[in-house]
């Protein structure tokens, strides 16, 4: 069965960096695009970033563009999110999610359990 | 700025039918927005119910269905049960590898 396990969250000071990882299993990771989605405490879901199966196409929400970088290592079945210049408003649970079957427009289908990032001085 | 709109809250009686909607401030929702629907209870990760307008995710009962109604995407729940009490989110594909989530609908079953 599909499993996605995020790690790397924690408490970090404003302006610092953090890298999240998402270990995938139970499906052929290398043929699916992947999303990152976050949820601030008590708030709704916010789409963050997407990466194609081969890593050649990516995009970001305006709120993180220029600060966050999504990447993947298909040999390790792992997705990453490098977060730089972190702000208080980046505090959230970060979920990685496999893209549903379909084309570039596919939304998330399977989700990890999330990892909490707290940006605080 | 693209805003995806959902009813903030809704209530349904046990056994009843409810239709939750997902709209766009800039115009109509179509199948080209590939609307998807998620269910989330507090402290849990989202669970996918519907993707690409009306495709039911694995293991989702057929009480849940998706469609386009008028100029909005819709999630229809029939035979509502107590454990359907959750927050429901939609997401729309906007353009050029951009997705936007709605603010969520908190469904009460009473």
Asked if residue B75 has pLDDT above 90, the reply is yes
Number of CB pairs, chain A paired with chain B, less than 8 A apart: 71
pLDDT at A103: 85
Question: What sign does the CA torsion over B60, B61, B63, B68 have?
Answer: positive
Beta strands in A26-77 (DSSP E): 34-39, 45-51, 58-60, 68-73
Q: How distant is the Cα of A65 from the closest Cα of chain B, in angstroms?
A: 12
Please indicate whether, in this complex, the C-beta atoms of B45 and A114 are within 8 angstroms of each other.
yes
Interatomic CA distance for residues A30 and A55, integer angstroms:
9
Residues of chain B with pLDDT > 70: what percent? 100
Across the interface, of B34, B38, B97, the residue whose CB is closest to A59 is B97
Surface-to-core class of residue A4, CB atoms within 10 Å of its CB (0-12 exposed, 13-18 middle, 19+ buried): buried
- Which of B34, B40, B87 is nearest residue A106 as measured by Cβ atoms? B34
Task: Say whether pLDDT at B46 is over 90.
Answer: yes
Tens digits of per-residue pLDDT, A56-96? 999 999 999 999 999 999 999 999 999 999 999 999 999 99
Q: What's the token pair of residue B14?
A: 């046990």
User: Mean pLDDT score of chain A, rounded to an integer?
Assistant: 97
Per DSSP, the three-state class of A87 is coil
Residue A109 to residue B57, Cβ atoms within 8 A: yes
Contact B36 A100 (CB under 8 A): yes
pLDDT band at A101 (very low <50, low <70, confident <90, very high): confident
Q: What is the DSSP string of B42-77?
A: TTS--EEEEETTTEEPTT--TTEEEEEETTEEEEEE
Question: Above 90 in pLDDT, residue B26?
Answer: no
Q: Quickly state the pLDDT bin for A104 (edges 50, 70, 90).
A: confident
């Amino acid at each position: 069965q599909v499993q996605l396990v995020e790690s790397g969250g924690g408490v970090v000071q404003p302006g610092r960096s953090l890298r999240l990882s998402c270990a995938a299993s139970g499906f052929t990771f290398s043929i699916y695009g992947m999303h990152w989605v976050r949820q601030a405490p008590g708030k709704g879901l916010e789409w963050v970033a997407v990466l194609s199966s081969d890593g050649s196409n990516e995009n970001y929400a305006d709120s993180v563009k220029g600060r966050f970088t999504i990447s993947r290592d298909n040999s390790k079945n792992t997705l990453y999110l490098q977060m730089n210049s972190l702000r208080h408003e980046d505090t959230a649970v970060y979920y990685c999610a496999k893209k549903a079957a379909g084309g570039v427009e596919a939304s998330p289908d399977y989700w990890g359990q999330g990892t909490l990032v707290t940006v605080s001085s | 700025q693209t805003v995806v709109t959902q009813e903030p809250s809704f209530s349904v009686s046990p056994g009843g039918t409810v239709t939750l909607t997902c709209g766009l401030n800039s115009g109509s929702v179509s199948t080209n927005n590939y609307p998807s629907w998620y269910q989330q209870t507090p402290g849990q990760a989202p669970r996918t119910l519907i993707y690409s307008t009306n495709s039911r995710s694995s293991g989702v009962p057929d009480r849940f269905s998706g469609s386009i109604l008028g100029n909005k995407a819709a999630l229809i729940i029939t035979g509502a049960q107590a454990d359907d009490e959750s927050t429901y989110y939609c997401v729309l594909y906007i353009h050029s590898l951009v997705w936007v989530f709605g603010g969520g609908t908190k469904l009460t079953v009473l």
